[in-house]
């Protein structure tokens, strides 16, 4: 199935009645159709993996097509340049998070992109860095605690951001890291407490993370 055919399938699934509700949650981009993530996952399963199709879907600029691109892309075929180009084109928090969880965290470049993107000024790129951190904290079962230390330092240094989409991403990363083990929970709690003494954005991240970390034992 080529790009035009897939876009046709997406338009057939579209329900404009969903757009108002999506917009209330800040979901949408240049062209949004009103297709659910569940519908996108079902279509992706039917289509299978294709690097060429993913590229075409991303280039279409259609909101749901870009999420679908992250689902059909082949992680082994992705380059750092492609990831950086996709990150630069992000225009909605949900596409950002879907791309990071469906694709970026499964590539060999996940750890480096997480650190590099979280230092960038663009709001969706910076959020993407934190989203990849959160995804790795959940899904990477082989890494030891020490490998997450650079992420904790990055959150401590970069969480003071006035933009909600960024600081929510920083809190997400900090909370997920803290859930990996008792040792990381202690380090995450310490980081969150330090953030509470910082600027307005940092204080928000610290308080938000502590609400969960201080009541929920690591590993649960």
Q: Are 167 and 192 in contact (CB under 8 A)?
A: no
Residue 220 has pLDDT above 60, yes or no: no
Distance of alpha carbon 77 from alpha carbon 96, whole angstroms: 20
pLDDT of residue 218: 53
The residues pairing with 31 across neighbouring beta strands, listed in sequence order, are: 62
Q: For 90-102, write each residue's pLDDT tens digit.
A: 999 999 999 999 9
**Torsion angle, alpha carbons of 63, 66, 72, 75, to 10:** -150
pLDDT of residue 177: 98
Residue-wise DSSP of 55-110 = HHHHHH-BHHHHHHHHHHS-GGG--HHHHHHHHHT--SHHHHHHHHHHTGGGSTTH
Residue 219 has pLDDT above 70, yes or no: no
Q: What is the mean pLDDT of residues 173-193?
A: 97
Share of the chain above pLDDT 90, in %: 86
Q: Nearest-5° angle of CA 59, CA 10, CA 136?
A: 65
Share of the chain above pLDDT 70, in %: 98
Q: Nearest-5° angle of CA 15, CA 17, CA 22?
A: 95
Counting every residue written for the chain, the total comes to: 220
Mapping DSSP to helix (H, G, I), strand (E, B) and coil, where does residue 122 land? Answer: coil
Q: Choose among 206, 4, 18, 176: nearest CA to 94.
A: 18
Q: For 123-144, write each residue's pLDDT tens digit.
A: 999 999 999 999 999 999 899 9
Q: Choose among 47, 49, 67: nearest CA to 57.
A: 67
Q: What is the mean pLDDT of residues 148-158?
A: 98
Number of Cβ atoms within 10 Å of the Cβ of 157: 12
- Of 30-39, 85-94, 121-130, 197-206, give the lowest mean pLDDT range: 30-39
Q: Choose among 119, 115, 174, 109: nearest CA to 150.
A: 115
3: number of CA atoms within 13 Å, CB side? 15
Residue 167 has pLDDT above 70, yes or no: yes
* DSSP state, residue 31: B
């Amino acid at each position: 199935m080529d790009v035009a055919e897939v876009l046709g399938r997406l338009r057939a699934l579209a329900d404009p009645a969903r757009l108002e509700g999506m917009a209330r949650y800040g979901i949408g981009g240049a062209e949004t159709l009103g297709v659910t993530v569940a519908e996108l996952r079902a279509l992706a399963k039917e289509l299978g993996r294709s690097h060429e199709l993913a590229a075409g879907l991303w280039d279409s600029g259609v909101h749901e097509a870009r999420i679908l691109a992250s689902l059909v892309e082949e992680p082994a075929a992705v380059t750092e340049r492609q990831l950086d180009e996709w990150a630069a084109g992000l225009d909605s928090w949900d596409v950002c998070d879907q791309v990071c969880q469906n694709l970026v965290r499964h590539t060999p470049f996940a750890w480096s992109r997480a650190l590099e993107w979280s230092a960038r000024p663009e709001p969706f790129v910076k959020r993407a860095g934190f989203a990849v951190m959160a995804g790795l904290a959940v899904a990477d079962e082989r890494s030891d605690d020490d490998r997450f230390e650079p992420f904790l330092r990055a959150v401590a240094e970069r969480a003071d951001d006035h933009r909600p989409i960024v600081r929510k991403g920083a809190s997400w990363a900090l909370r997920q890291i803290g859930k990996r083990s008792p040792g990381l929970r202690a380090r995450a709690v310490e980081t969150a407490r330090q953030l509470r003494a910082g600027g307005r954005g940092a204080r928000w991240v610290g308080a938000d993370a502590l609400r969960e970390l201080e009541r929920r034992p690591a590993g649960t």
